[in-house]
């Protein structure tokens, strides 16, 4: 069997995974199917800032390497930001 | 930056939980239950919460291992990323915890960086089951991200403060009428440190509710430490059998003759053995021993002495008692009971005497039909003429006879090992 990468690192999140991740864990509002993913870029930056605060990593608002690393970590399925 | 409360909380603190074994073919149920029990203890240790395992869908917290879509709108994603989720207190799914069965779960403190510690993840998920949401405090148990297994795990302050806002801390415990004995100084560790055998004398008239048995006037237990009877009176726990043993208000009580010992989470309370009559009033003056004791599910405490039983609300005998054993539905021919316990597996009350046992339903207040039965029929490996039986904090049932005990494995329906282990060594560090 191919050697599993340690810490179960999954394939790096790609653009839609970022939205999926941020929506799944409550950082972005569920996309409104009628309007589709019309979150603004500002909303994305705000959401990343909130995630980075939660994860105790530098708060840049950008999808940088530390943020990608955090998003790959195994975690609880309960949203972080609950309405 | 701190813990987050999610609004709902349980309106009762004595919670029940149950592991549902769907999808659990590949895992040892015993170890899973043990890890879940230890994970719950992390929360009960710092709050008024207590957790009792039952085998029923009616439990407050149901624990499932699930795969992919499993009907709650939060599908699992296979190995990695999402490990588990749980529901905040409430009805329906409320309180339940779901674990992704496709993860590589490590049980019972197994160490390896490939797998995921069930104990650690369960401790986090049960935080949700109790009403805590995620915390952004670094290192908090309620941080969203898995932080690996810490063997000597102690609940971080942020999580402890969160749970105590919801369910108070243990020290505020109101224990009914039984005085909670908490010495002014921190209790010295240990069961094998016998307190000095002095007698406590007061010059003022005793507040004791019973006339002093000797010329020495004892200070009543309700106001100070339990009395320390003269040395020659008291039994030595390293050199005795026991008449009865029971968990009462979360502490473990051993009874011998007129005395009892009390063991808390840090071992034997100093100042014990204390006269039983100092904790439970109006027991018969000429009582030489209790036959069996147990705490009912309504938290009343029941003593069996000879052909009668006594029901206490805290220290106080409930009016109308004692009653004859026949009032419970036991046969006229029975002149005593050996042991009584509530079995965690089904929450029924089992009464043992000689070679027989009966099953009593506390909810309907009736002895169940089809009893008595021979003890050996289902309690494999447990002897006849027992001294005591009780369900300990680890969820297992312990049977005591003479100076030994057996730990009963509910899943295998037999004792864990044929040879009884020493009570003195295991509980009193003899």
Q: Is a pLDDT exceeding 90 seen at residue B251?
A: no
Residues of chain A with pLDDT under 70: 1-16, 30-40, 83
Higher pLDDT, B185 or B401: B401
Which of B128, B133, B146 is opposite residue A75, by nearest beta carbon?
B146
Q: Tokens 């899943």: give the residue.
A: B411
Verify whether the Cβ–Cβ distance A10 to B80 is below 8 Å.
Answer: yes
pLDDT band at B159 (very low <50, low <70, confident <90, very high): very high
Which whole number is the average pLDDT over B302-308?
Answer: 95
pLDDT of B181:
33
Which whole number is the average pLDDT over B418-425?
Answer: 88
- Nearest residue on chain B to A78, judged by CA atoms? B85
Provide the mean pLDDT of chain B: 81
Q: Is a pLDDT exceeding 50 seen at residue B11?
A: yes
pLDDT band at B71 (very low <50, low <70, confident <90, very high): confident
ipTM of the complex: 0.79
Verify whether the Cβ–Cβ distance A7 to B85 is below 8 Å.
Answer: no
- % residues pLDDT > 70 (chain B): 83
Higher pLDDT, B60 or B206: B60
Residues of A in contact with B84 (CB under 8 A): 76-77
pLDDT of A23:
86
Which whole number is the average pLDDT over B276-294?
Answer: 87
CB pairs under 8 A between A and B: 69
Which whole number is the average pLDDT over B52-76?
Answer: 92
Q: Is a pLDDT exceeding 60 seen at residue B373?
A: yes
How many other CB atoms are found less than 10 A from the CB of residue B292? Answer: 28
Q: Is a pLDDT exceeding 70 seen at residue B57?
A: yes
Residues of B in contact with A74 (CB under 8 A): 80-83, 116, 145-146
How far is residue B1 CA from its own chain's centroid?
A: 35
Q: Kind of pairing, strands B308-313 and B316-317?
A: antiparallel
How many other CB atoms are found less than 10 A from the CB of residue B67? Answer: 13
pLDDT in tens, B394-421: 888 999 999 999 999 887 888 988 888 9
pLDDT in tens, B203-213: 333 333 333 32
pLDDT of B204:
32
d(CA B275, CA B272): 8
- Cis status, amide bond into B239, omega within 30 of 0: no
Q: How far apart are the first and last CA of chain B?
A: 48
pLDDT band at B17 (very low <50, low <70, confident <90, very high): very high
Looking at residue B148, what DSSP letter applies?
-
CA B2 vs CA A54, B139, B144, B195, B417: distances in Å: 10, 11, 13, 43, 47
HSE-CB of B125 using CA atoms within 13 angstroms: 32
Q: Is a pLDDT exceeding 50 seen at residue B329?
A: yes
pLDDT of A82:
74
B294-302 long-range contacts, CB within 8 A, separation 24+: B294/B246, B294/B340, B294/B341, B294/B342, B294/B349, B294/B390, B295/B246, B295/B247, B295/B248, B295/B249, B295/B342, B296/B342, B296/B349, B296/B362, B297/B342, B297/B347, B297/B362, B298/B362, B299/B176, B299/B249, B301/B248, B302/B340
Q: Give B160-187 as a 3 state SS string.
A: HHHHHHHHCCHHHCCCCCCCCCCCCCCC
Which whole number is the average pLDDT over B362-385?
Answer: 87
Range of A5-14, A65-74, B143-152, B267-276 with top mean pLDDT: A65-74
d(CA B411, CA B51): 19
Looking at residue B90, what DSSP letter applies?
S
Which whole number is the average pLDDT over B178-189?
Answer: 33
User: Which residue numbers of B are catalytic?
Assistant: 125
Residue numbers of A between 11 and 30 with CB closer than 8 Å to B: 25
Q: Is A74 in CB contact (< 8 Å) with chain B?
A: yes
């Amino acid at each position: 069997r191919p050697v599993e990468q340690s810490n179960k690192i999954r394939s790096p999140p790609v653009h839609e995974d970022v939205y999926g991740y941020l929506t799944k864990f409550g950082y972005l509002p569920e996309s409104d199917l009628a309007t589709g993913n019309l979150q603004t870029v500002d909303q994305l930056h705000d959401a990343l800032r909130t995630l980075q605060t939660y994860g105790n990593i530098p708060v840049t608002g950008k999808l940088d390497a530390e943020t990608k690393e955090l998003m790959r970590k195994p975690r609880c399925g309960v949203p972080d930001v609950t309405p | 930056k701190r813990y987050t409360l999610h609004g709902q909380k349980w309106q009762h603190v004595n919670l029940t939980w149950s592991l549902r074994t769907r999808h659990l073919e590949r895992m040892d149920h015993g170890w899973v239950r043990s890890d879940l029990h230890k994970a719950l203890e992390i929360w009960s240790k710092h709050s008024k919460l207590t957790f009792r395992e039952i085998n029923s869908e009616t439990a407050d917290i149901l624990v499932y291992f699930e795969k992919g879509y499993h009907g709650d709108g939060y599908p699992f994603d296979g190995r990695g990323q999402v490990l588990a989720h749980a529901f905040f207190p409430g009805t329906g799914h409320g309180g339940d915890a779901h674990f992704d069965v496709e993860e590589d779960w490590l049980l019972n403190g197994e160490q390896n960086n490939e797998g995921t510690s069930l104990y650690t993840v369960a401790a986090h998920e049960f935080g949700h089951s109790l009403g805590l949401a995620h915390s952004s405090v670094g290192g908090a148990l309620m941080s969203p991200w898995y932080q690996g297994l810490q063997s000597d795990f102690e609940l971080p302050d942020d999580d402890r403060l969160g749970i105590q806002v919801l369910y108070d801390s243990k020290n505020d415990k109101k224990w009914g009428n039984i005085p909670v004995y908490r010495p002014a100084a921190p209790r010295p560790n240990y069961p094998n440190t016998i307190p000095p055998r002095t007698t406590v004398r007061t010059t003022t008239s005793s507040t004791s509710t019973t006339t002093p048995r000797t010329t020495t006037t004892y200070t009543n237990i309700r106001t100070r430490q339990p009395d320390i009877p003269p040395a020659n009176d008291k039994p030595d726990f390293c050199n005795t059998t026991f008449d009865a043993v029971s968990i009462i208000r979360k502490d473990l009580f051993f009874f011998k003759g007129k005395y009892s010992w009390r063991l808390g989470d840090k071992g034997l309370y100093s100042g014990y053995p204390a006269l039983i009559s100092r904790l439970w009033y109006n027991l018969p003056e000429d009582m030489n021993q209790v036959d069996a004791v147990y705490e009912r599910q309504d938290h009343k405490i029941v003593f069996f002495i000879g052909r009668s039983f006594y029901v206490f609300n805290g220290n106080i005998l409930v009016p109308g008692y004692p009653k004859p054993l026949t009032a419970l539905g036991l046969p006229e021919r029975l002149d005593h009971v050996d042991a009584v316990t509530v079995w965690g597996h089904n929450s029924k009350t089992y009464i043992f005497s000689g070679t027989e046992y009966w099953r009593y339903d506390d909810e309907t207040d009736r002895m169940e039909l089809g009893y008595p039965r021979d003890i050996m029929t289902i309690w494999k490996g447990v002897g006849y003429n027992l001294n005591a039986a009780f369900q300990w904090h680890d969820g297992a049932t312990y049977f005591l006879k003479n100076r030994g005990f057996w730990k009963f494995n509910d899943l295998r329906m037999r004792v864990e090992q044929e040879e009884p282990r020493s009570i003195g060594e295991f509980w009193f560090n003899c």
